[in-house]
């Protein structure tokens, strides 16, 4: 697969995943628990696809350096994104597991944290793409 296709698939899957997380939050707040479950499982599936596309791209093509004027801001976003993305993978697995096994009191405690981190990682992923598009080599 080309770099451009992998980038597009990565952006599409993580963006749709983030939108589904927000949708799932709205659904659970409005009492539509079955639709909430479907939205969150769909978000998780898309996040898994994202991870596959990202890893293929990462191991197939060298990373592009950022050479724009906002290097400090870029590095802050990149580092915080990378750390939280690494934390969010096991956090999401635990959150989904607790939800599908009906351990809802524990699920309700961890899910808001997972959702917030997930949204941050999705948004900053798009932001990193924008940085590299504007100031990448």
**Of all helices (H) and strands (E), which one includes residue 132?**
helix 104-135
d(CA 88, CA 6): 22
* pLDDT tens-digit map of 3-31: 999 999 999 999 999 999 999 999 999 99
Q: What is the CATH number of the domain that holds 113?
A: 1.20.120.80
For residue 58, what are the domain limits?
3-135
Question: Residue 73 to residues 1, 63, 64, 136: CA-CA distances in angstroms?
Answer: 31, 18, 16, 14
d(CA 47, CA 9): 11
**Is the model's pLDDT at 137 over the cut of 70?**
no
**Is the model's pLDDT at 93 over the cut of 70?**
yes
For 105, residues 6+ apart whose C-beta sits below 8 A from its C-beta are: none
**Is the model's pLDDT at 136 over the cut of 80?**
no
Domain total for the chain?
1
Of all residues in the chain, what percent carry a pLDDT higher than 70?
A: 99
* pLDDT tens-digit map of 39-76: 999 999 999 999 999 999 999 998 888 988 999 999 99
């Amino acid at each position: 697969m080309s770099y451009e296709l992998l980038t597009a698939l990565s952006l599409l899957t993580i963006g749709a995943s983030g939108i589904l997380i927000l949708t799932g939050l709205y659904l659970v707040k409005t009492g539509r628990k079955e639709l909430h479950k479907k939205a969150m499982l769909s978000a998780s599936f898309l996040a898994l696809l994202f991870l596959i596309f990202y890893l293929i791209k990462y191991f197939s093509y060298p990373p592009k350096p950022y050479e724009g004027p906002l290097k400090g801001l870029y590095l802050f976003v990149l580092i915080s994104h990378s750390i939280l993305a690494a934390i969010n993978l096991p956090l999401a697995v635990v959150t989904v597991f607790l939800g599908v096994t009906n351990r809802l009191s524990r699920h309700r405690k961890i899910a808001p944290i997972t959702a917030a981190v997930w949204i941050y990682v999705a948004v900053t992923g798009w932001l990193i793409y924008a940085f590299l598009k504007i100031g990448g080599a």
